Amino acid sequence: MAGIHQFLEAMLSNEASDLHLAEGHSPKYRVYGEMVPTDEPPLDRDTLRTMLEEVCPPERWKAFLESSDLDFAYSLDGRARYRANYYRHAGGLGAAFRLIPSRISTLEQLGMPTILKDLAQTRNGLILVTGPTGSGKSTTLAAVIDFINANFCRNILTIEEPIEFIHMPKKSIIIQREVGTEVRSFGEALHVAVHEDVDVVLVGEMRDLETIGLALTAAETGVLVFGTLHTNSAPKSAEVLIRTAAIASAIREGQTNKITSQMIAGKNMGMQLIDDSVQELLDAGRISGETAYLASLDKERFAKFSPTTGG
């Protein structure tokens, strides 16, 4: 049994979402959002290197040694899948393993706005799912792709690094390509996709100008493109923002300060401000006041719940 398996097994029994390993530190888990230490001794370089290398495909390990960064998916005896990230830091080697849910949640189970179903039925355009790391971008997109797969006859292509959720064909044809394994880059896969008669493309991450440019080109030529970006608010792309003539004009003219007022005006179209969503979750008792304060952009609106006020 690989040395790291004891920790991956413990993630399942302890309901942990993440495992963090860093040279010179004891292993730690993230459980319900909180970092939880273990009683294990600090990891030395040889121990950690052995742990990481023995669960990594040889060619991917070689790539990691050359680039100092690697993402790939790992399966624990077919019982659970993990997204692994290897990296180097000032103290040596490090890695994070995130548990990938075995079942794809529906949009209803995730409590997603109904506008997502409408957007999923469009035949072309660019739809971005954004937010900080761990906010549920991949989970949301998996639910959207599953909705399309279950309800429409489409030719769907996903380009991911790594492939996280496994989609089985339903009404649609669905092909999943992994960067670093089946294709060298997001850009290369997108370039080829426009010649493969695809209807829907999922781009796991918009990480460079080439990928963004090719995604825009695909969207303009009749493909529905989904992608992710690391952002935090609607003017930076979060929340629910739908293109209108007024919003397009504000973006072109660099007047992003006008976007919020346009989103308020477009509420009946399905637009949504994050603070309104936070308020709905708070009113429904699904989140605490402190969580609402920490997640909100308008802190004054939720000031009474600030941890410093004891609210």
What's the distance, CA 146 to chain centroid? 15
Q: Going by DSSP bridges, is the β-strand pair 69-76/80-89 parallel, antiparallel, or unpaired? A: antiparallel
In a domain, 241, yes or no: no
At residue 201, the pLDDT reads 96
In a domain, 279, yes or no: yes
Output the domain CATH number for residue 41.
3.30.450.90
Mean pLDDT by runs of 10 across the 311 residues of the chain is 88 93 96 90 96 93 92 88 94 94 91 92 92 84 97 96 92 93 88 88 88 90 90 65 90 88 90 90 91 88 84 54
Q: Which two tokens stand for residue 271?
A: 């637009």
Q: Which two tokens stand for residue 290?
A: 């402190």
Determine the structural domain holding residue 52 and report its residue range: 5-100
Task: At 75, give phi and psi (nearest 5°).
Answer: -105, 135
At residue 274, the pLDDT reads 85
- Total tally of structural domains belonging to the chain: 3
Do 147 and 85 reside in the same domain of the chain?
A: no
In a domain, 227, yes or no: yes
Strand locations in the chain (E)? 18-22, 28-31, 34-37, 69-76, 80-89, 92-100, 125-130, 155-160, 173-178, 200-203, 224-229
Q: Which residue, chain included where needed, has tokens 């039925």?
A: 121
In a domain, 251, yes or no: no
DSSP conformation letters of 36-68: EE-SSPPBPHHHHHHHHHHTS-HHHHHHHHHHS
Domain end, chosen from 202, 232, 262, is at 232
User: What distance in Å separates the CA atoms of residue 252 and residue 141, rounded to the nearest whole number?
Assistant: 27
Does this model's pTM top 0.75?
Answer: yes
Select from 72, 55, 59 the least CA-distant residue to 5: 55
At residue 1, the pLDDT reads 66
At residue 233, the pLDDT reads 55
DSSP for residue 235: G
